[in-house]
Amino acid sequence: MQFLLPFPLKNKFLEIGGRPAAFVLALLGCCLGAAGASAAPASRKYLLLDDRVVERVDNVRLRVGTVTKHPANPLFKEDRPWEVRFDNVYVNVTYDEATRRYQLWYSPFIVDELTTGTPVPKRPEVRYHSTPTREMGLCYATSSDGIHWDKPALNLIDFNGSKANNLVVRCSHGGGVLRDGQEKDPARRYKLFGGQQIPGQKRQFQVAFSPDGIHWAEPLICPEVGVDGDTHNNAIWAPELGKYVGITRRWLAGERLVMRTESTDFTRWSRAVEVMRGTGENQTYAMPIFPYAGVYLGLVMVINTRTDLVQCELAWSPDTVLWQRIDPGHALIPNSPTPGDYDSGCVYAGVTPVIRGDEIQLYYGASNAPHTTWRDGFLALATLPADRFAGYVAEQAEGTILTQPLVLAGKELLVNADASGGEFAVEILDANGLPIPGFSGDDRAAHAGANGLRTPVRWKRAADLSALQGRPVRFKFRLRAAKMYSFEVR
């Protein structure tokens, strides 16, 4: 259960591993109302990027995690006649546990007369620009390992007199594909959320439905959204809200703004409202969002209008309405520093990471040159260990993280931290911040050289947390040359 509040609220007492304390229930009973910032997340795992959990920090700062780019990158490139220009690729990837196969939807320009009419040797003499005749389509691919991809001939959509291609929808711009696990109607199991781009006509917003992600019904136009979907659009089901939430973009006075819309049936949507903007020089281009460990995370593509480069940054939200950027200016998926490399120009993260065990797979569209130039496009993959989207780091001197009071409902504390070149220590304080004998001072737990996703914390005189059950306590984490991401009590 997650409570939604009409305003941001730091909880007096949070609980790990069970129901909220009576004090919190009484407090929330007075405050329940319109959707806004939420109270303590209901999961047992707590990301330290969630400022509802953290009371105070000293001499540490929140930094994005470190991804590993797959050595097989780029995984594929523009190599079909209808893949005229990948542009931003706008990838959507899911993994089906039942079939053990990946599904991928991506959006190339399938018609771009400037590209097809300008031979590569002539391109340095011609400025690339968009044209009214450009048309984007939605293509489909599959993989058994997430690395080697098959672009099957589906024989569904005509392109230049042939259906021997992997197109599933034409005239779809930046389509976000949702495989909806809570949908009861098999014909609507897959959902498309994006712009409709018919050459020579004004772009509109559309949705569509499919039983398998391949065979799509006729799109439904949604003019009430109020924007044209000129970005990588995406939608999720938010169970706490009982609604679908869609993220798109608006242009306003030359600036790109992240916009939010919602729906109860995926057919009728609210008018999109602004939820994030950057600056005139560093603008928010797109933001796929997804739920993760009691929060919502956003992968923010930021375009620098001076360099014309696009990088992927990170944001979080308690409720999909209020968003905070994490470590602005620092990329979660860094662009290659080598000019001409496959992802040196632009990085566009895909919709919803694939999580398999303790690995987070971030698929992304990449290009080897700046945004508004001639460029080649690719599919690429970066990975993260579990929970390591962002963490607090103390690079030299010791730093501390103090949590809000927590009511314990478990016996073991597990910490996700990298102290391979330093140390982290844990003390437990009472709700007033006073040391608890046996868990603080000389009895504190210290771990030097540890780098684990679930490092068990052991105190010198206490086997576990049994003595503290039902009691509001605070954790005080001390870091020295270490980075901490999350903790869990179970």
Q: What is the β-pairing status of strands 406-408 and 14-16?
A: parallel
What pLDDT is attached to residue 336?
Answer: 98
| pLDDT band at residue 76 under the 50/70/90 scheme | very high
* pLDDT for position 7: 29
61 pLDDT tier (thresholds 50, 70, 90): very high
pLDDT at residue 459, rounded to an integer:
86
Residue 155, burial from CB neighbour count under 10 angstroms (0-12, 13-18, 19+): exposed
Residue matched to tokens 């566009």: 348
- Write down the pLDDT at residue 17: 37
- Give residue-wise pLDDT tens across range 133-166: 899 999 999 999 999 999 999 999 999 999 999 9
Specify the pLDDT at position 160.
Answer: 96
What DSSP designation does 325 have?
Answer: E
Segment 225-238, tens digit of pLDDT: 999 999 999 999 99
Give residue 443's pLDDT. 81
H or E segment at 445?
Answer: strand 445-448
Task: Please give the residue that has the higher pLDDT: either 463 or 306.
Answer: 306
Would you state the pLDDT for residue 395? Answer: 73
Report the C-alpha gap between 191 and 289 in whole angstroms: 16
Give the single-character DSSP code of 161: T
Task: Show Cβ contacts of residue 459 under 8 Å, excluding neighbours closer than 6 positions.
Answer: 438, 439, 443, 444, 445
**Is the per-residue pLDDT at 37 higher than 70?**
no
Domain residue extents for the chain: 14-64+391-489, 68-387
Task: Find out if CATH 3.40.50.300 is the number for domain 68-387.
Answer: no
SS3 content of the chain, % helix, strand, coil (to 5): 5, 45, 50
pLDDT of residue 410: 86
Query: How would residue 64 be classed by pLDDT, with cut points 50, 70 and 90?
Result: very high
Residue 442 pLDDT class (50, 70, 90 cuts): confident
First to last CA, the chain: 18
Share of the chain above pLDDT 90, in %: 83
Mean of per-residue pLDDT scores for the chain: 90
Of 53-67, 188-202, 250-264, 316-330, the least confident? 188-202
Indicate the class that CATH gives domain 14-64+391-489.
mainly beta
Average pLDDT of 52-63? 96
The closest of 434, 435, 436, 428 to 406, measured between CA atoms, is: 428
pLDDT bracket for residue 77 (50, 70, 90): very high
Confidence category of residue 201, pLDDT binned at 50, 70, 90? confident
Output the pLDDT for position 73. Answer: 98
Q: What share of the chain has pLDDT > 70, as a percent?
A: 91
Task: Tell me if 91 sits within 8 A of 379, measured CB to CB.
Answer: yes
Element containing residue 94 per DSSP (H, E): strand 92-96
**pLDDT value, residue 2:** 31
Give residue 409's pLDDT band: very low, low, confident or very high (50, 70, 90).
Answer: confident
Dig out the tokens for 396 from the structure: 């030299």
pLDDT of residue 389: 98
> Rounded mean pLDDT of 287-308?
97
